[in-house]
């Protein structure tokens, strides 16, 4: 389960985030390409933009549910 205390500082402020468990599998970037971006230097994904449409919200939820290491969090804010 993602831990808010370990989230990457590159994450956009808001309810979704990626923490340091990310293994850079690319699933979130494929599932929600408008919201997740790769940090090339660090080799991990982060949330570059919080969802702003119902479609993006659905995609972010799908990415969170599909994450193989549960590195995507949703603190409900």
For the chain, helix, strand, coil in percent to 5 are 25, 20, 50
Mean pLDDT of 49-60: 98
When pLDDT is cut at 50, 70 and 90, the band that residue 77 belongs to is: low
DSSP 50-76: ---SHHHHHHHHHHHHH-TT--EEE--
Q: Do the Cβ atoms of 49 and 34 come closer than 8 Å?
A: yes
pTM, to two decimals: 0.94
Architecture of the 4-74 domain: 2-Layer Sandwich (3.30)
> Would you list the domain boundaries of the chain?
4-74
The pLDDT tens digits of the residues spanning 13-33 come to: 999 999 999 999 999 999 999
């Amino acid at each position: 389960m993602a831990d808010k205390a370990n989230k990457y500082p590159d994450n956009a402020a808001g309810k979704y985030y990626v923490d340091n468990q990310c293994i850079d599998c690319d699933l979130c970037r494929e599932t929600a390409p408008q919201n997740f971006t790769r940090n090339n230097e660090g080799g991990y994904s982060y949330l570059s933009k919080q969802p702003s449409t119902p479609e993006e919200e659905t995609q972010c939820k799908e990415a969170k549910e599909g994450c193989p290491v549960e590195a995507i969090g949703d603190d409900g804010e």
